[in-house]
Amino acid sequence: MKVKLEARQISLEYGRPASNSRIVALSGIDLTIFENEFVSIVGPSGCGKTTFLSVVDGLMPATSGQVLVDGVIVSRPGPDRAVVFQDSSLLPWRTVIGNVIYGLECAGATAAMARERSQHFIELVGLSGFEDRYPYELSGGMQQRVNLARALVMDPQILLMDEPFAALDAQTRELMQEELLRIWSEAGKTVLFITHQIDEAVILSDRVIVFSARPGRVKATIDVPFERPRSLRLKRSPRFHEIEDRIWHLIQDDAPRSHLLAGNP
């Protein structure tokens, strides 16, 4: 298997002049993700999951350590990676298609080509017929579909997903998980997925990485052995619960500390 994404000894600290202190958000994170692998990171709130994702995307510089894509060090956002943000971050003055097109537009694609590509991905995420709606006319689930299409249309090799379903209700979330599994199997991407929902991490991933409470460190890596394609019915099986339980205990060990520190998620 080919290594797609590698994080080497990523640490991140920042100063807090107001309280005259320094905060260590991430401490020596090593992580290797193979091509077309689906990896989730779970951990107590405030453990730096989202911060780590920002470092991988190049939005935030690490204090030390490197991120490598295909063995090449990256330090800024690039077309090889695309983020699906936690809040949909849609441009409220643009329609669905206007939002999906946004990344292509920034990359300098011609309008006709961009529209055609976007149309394809709008169909893929199941939003045909909503091209000309504005974000406020869409439900939370639909907004996240746009968010996903906007990332997919860039044809990135690596998809970075930051708790994309956290704000959705339970039913919509399960529906989106199913959709994501379908899209992932069709599109064939390497995915780094951040979540605080253990069952979500297990159902989606090949591997689940457990982060410890602040400072964020890799505490454990759990392989998820289930065959693909997976159906959501898997969530009812004893084997699934067993894995869920293991992860739950790993996170739980850290939880009391993290509650005290959870001021800044």
Partner 1 sequence: MTIAAPQAGGNSIPTSTPLPRERYAAFERPILGALALTIFLLFWEGVARGWWADLLHPILGSNADALRVRPIFLASPSTIATSAYSMLFETGELWPHLGLSAFEFVSALAIAVTLGVPFGLIVGRYQYLSYAVEPLLAALNATPQIALLPLVVLWMGTGVAARVFIIALLMIVPIVISAHAAVRTIDARLLRLARSFSASEAQVFKTIILPASFPYLLAGLRLAIGRGMIGIVVGEVYGSAVGIGVMINRAGSTFKTDRVFVGVFTIVIAGLLLSELVRRLERRVGVWRESAVDVQ
Interface with partner 1 (CB under 8 A): 57, 59, 76-79, 82-83, 85, 87-94, 102-103, 105-107, 134-137, 143, 154
**Which of 147, 205 has the CB closer to partner 1?**
147
**Which of 138, 176 has the CB closer to partner 1?**
138
**Which of 70, 253 has the CB closer to partner 1?**
70
Say what the alpha-carbon torsion angle 129, 131, 136, 141 is, to the nearest 10 degrees: 70
CA 2 – CA 77 distance, rounded (Å): 22
- Smallest gap from Cβ 103 to partner 1, in A, equals 4
- Smallest gap from Cβ 161 to partner 1, in A, equals 13
Q: Do the beta carbons of residue 70 and residue 34 sit within 8 Å?
A: no
Nearest residue to 215 via CA among 30, 23, 59: 23
- Smallest gap from Cβ 78 to partner 1, in A, equals 7
**Which of 89, 172 has the CB closer to partner 1?**
89
- Smallest gap from Cβ 105 to partner 1, in A, equals 7
Collapse the DSSP code of 9 into the 3-class scheme (helix H, G, I; strand E, B; otherwise coil) and give the result: strand
Say what the alpha-carbon torsion angle 88, 94, 99, 104 is, to the nearest 10 degrees: -140
In the sheet with 3-16, reading across from the earlier edge strand, the strands are 21-34, 3-16, 64-69, 72-74
**Which of 76, 233 has the CB closer to partner 1?**
76
Alpha helices in 153-206 (DSSP H): 170-187, 198-204
- Smallest gap from Cβ 28 to partner 1, in A, equals 25
| HEC readout, 106-135 | HCCCCHHHHHHHHHHHHHHCCCCCCCCCCH
- Smallest gap from Cβ 92 to partner 1, in A, equals 5
**Which of 26, 53 has the CB closer to partner 1?**
53
